[in-house]
């Protein structure tokens, strides 16, 4: 089964099983990470599913949308690897993906 490696806000890394019919937000939230707030439920309206993606995986992700970019601009914790987990549907190319849940704004 494919997996992603998720680092929570406390710095603990956990391997999580992933399936291609879900977004990273759903996968992380449903794996029990309380840090994944996801208030809007995946509508790209709140940025509470902000993650930092390991640069080694940048090429396996789709380009950032204008809406996602605008929401990430509201975070003082934005980095070059910032993405909204609700906007990233898991694909086989993402197997082994490493992400960290961003600090709360």
Domain holding 75: CATH number?
3.10.20.30
Query: Can you give the pLDDT at residue 105?
Result: 84
The DSSP symbol for 52 reads: E
Using one digit for the tens of pLDDT, what is the confidence trace for 37-49? 999 999 999 999 9
Using one digit for the tens of pLDDT, what is the confidence trace for 57-84? 998 899 999 999 999 999 999 999 999 9
Q: Which residues lie closer than 8 Å to 26 by C-beta, 6 or more apart? A: 42, 86
Domain count, the chain: 1
pTM (2 d.p.): 0.95
The residue range of the domain holding 77 is 3-101
* CA angle (92 as vertex; 89, 94 as ends), nearest 5: 65
């Amino acid at each position: 089964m494919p997996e992603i490696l998720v680092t929570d806000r406390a710095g603990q890394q956990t391997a999580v099983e992933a399936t291609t019919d879900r977004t990273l937000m759903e996968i992380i939230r449903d794996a029990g990470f309380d840090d994944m707030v996801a208030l809007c439920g995946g509508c790209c309206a709140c940025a509470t599913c902000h993650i930092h993606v390991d640069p080694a995986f940048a090429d396996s992700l789709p380009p950032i949308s204008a809406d996602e970019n605008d929401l990430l601009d509201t975070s003082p914790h934005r980095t070059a690897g910032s993405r909204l987990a609700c906007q990233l549907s898991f694909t086989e190319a993402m197997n082994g993906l490493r992400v960290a849940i961003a600090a709360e704004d």
